[in-house]
Amino acid sequence: MIRSLTSAVSGIQQFQQELDVIGNNIANVNTIAFKSARTDLADSFSQTLSAAGASGGTTDQIGLGVTTAAITNQYTQGAITRTGVTTDLAVAGNGFFVVKDPVSGETFVTRAGNFQIDQDGYLVTNGGLRVQGYNDLALSNVGDIEIDAAVRPDTVSQTATMSSYSIDSLGKVTVQLSDGSDYVRGQVLMQDFSNPQALIKQGNNLYSGIGAAGPLGGSSSPTAAASGTNGLGQIQSGALELSNVDLSNEFSNLIQTERAFQANARIITTSDEMMQELVNLKH
């Protein structure tokens, strides 16, 4: 009976944790590029009552409950929706955008491409982190991407102003000038990982732990690459990736987890009643 109590308590603890994961998934059903998580359970340590001998027989064991083996992020593709905003970028396929905190210098990756241009001309996240990529005309220097006409080749007018800009499927930022000419100002680069499960969610759609996740270029010197290369997906401008949360699946998991929680609670009640009967035997 004590073993049943221990098993039931472990079940309640793990199913409560699974409910927390499901609740977080449902709460982020409308979060841009959110990746849902899944709780993987495993049986806990088993107590061996008797072991099989050399001449045969069976090994008798009683399990002592359940434990959480892993909480796995599901990096499946979310639906892509058109927004018409040029700075909104979606990834169709594998890969993450690379962004950097201009104050701390810390680098993160994200799937959320709801970017904007700040007052200094930098392409940034809603939190002010700067999108990384080639920021020069030769597409050779990696740094903060700027979308402006401050840097331009000698082959175009040096007095014309920027009238518009566009970002193509390779991430190349093309600036259109008021005289009708245009040129490539820079290029958005992306990163991918051999073990994305090692990434750490930091909130605000950001992930850290880049080195441990096996990035392109190696953990010591992660090297971003252009979309469409190194297994990376294509960039879609004027679009956003939606959350990959499947509400029907989450509600189904919610019902199953709730019933499993109730069943474990019933085991505790039943074990308590049996122990009460034993205590009453003295009368």
Q: pLDDT tens digits for 79-130?
A: 999 999 999 999 999 999 999 999 999 999 999 999 999 999 999 999 999 9
pLDDT of 55? 62
62 Cβ neighbours under 8 A, 6+ residues apart: 3, 46, 47, 49
- Beta strand 182-188 with 130-134 is antiparallel
User: What pLDDT does 274 receive?
Assistant: 85
The residues, ordered by sequence, that sit 6+ positions from 167 with a Cβ below 8 Å of its Cβ are: 86, 87, 89, 173, 174, 188, 235, 237
Cβ count near 94 (within 10 Å): 16
CB atoms within 10 A of CB 189: 24
Give the global pTM. 0.88
In this structure, are residues 177 and 149 in contact, taking their beta carbons and an 8 Å threshold?
A: yes
Q: What is the mean pLDDT of each run of 10 residues along the chain (283 residues)?
A: 82 94 97 96 74 65 85 96 97 97 97 96 96 96 95 93 96 96 97 96 96 94 95 97 97 96 92 83 69
Strands 234-237 and 89-92 turn out to be antiparallel
The predicted structure's pLDDT at residue 98: 98
Kindly write down the DSSP assignment for every residue of the chain, as one continuous string. Answer: -HHHHHHHHHHHHHHHHHHHHHHHHHHTTTSTT---EEEEEEE--EEEEE--BTTB---EEEE--EEEEEEEE--PPPPEEE---TTBEEEESS-EEEEE-TTT--EEEES--B-EE-TTSBEE-TTSPEEEEE-STTS--EEE-B-SSSS--TTS-SSPPEEEEEE-TT-EEEEEETTS-EEEEEEE-EE-BS-GGG-EEEETTEEE-TGGG-BTT-SSS---B-TTSTT--EEEETEEEPP---HHHHHHHHHHHHHHHHHHHHHHHHHHHHHHHHHHTT-
| Residue 241 and residue 82 in contact, taking contact as beta carbons nearer than 8 Å | no
| AA identity, residue 169 | S
Pairing relationship of beta strands 89-92 and 200-203 according to DSSP bridges = unpaired
Domain residue ranges in the chain? 2-74+245-280, 80-241
Residue 52 has a pLDDT of 65
Q: Which residue has the tokens 């201009």?
A: 102
CA trace torsion 141, 146, 148, 153 (10° rounding): 0
Residue 88 CA to residue 66 CA, distance in Å, equals 44
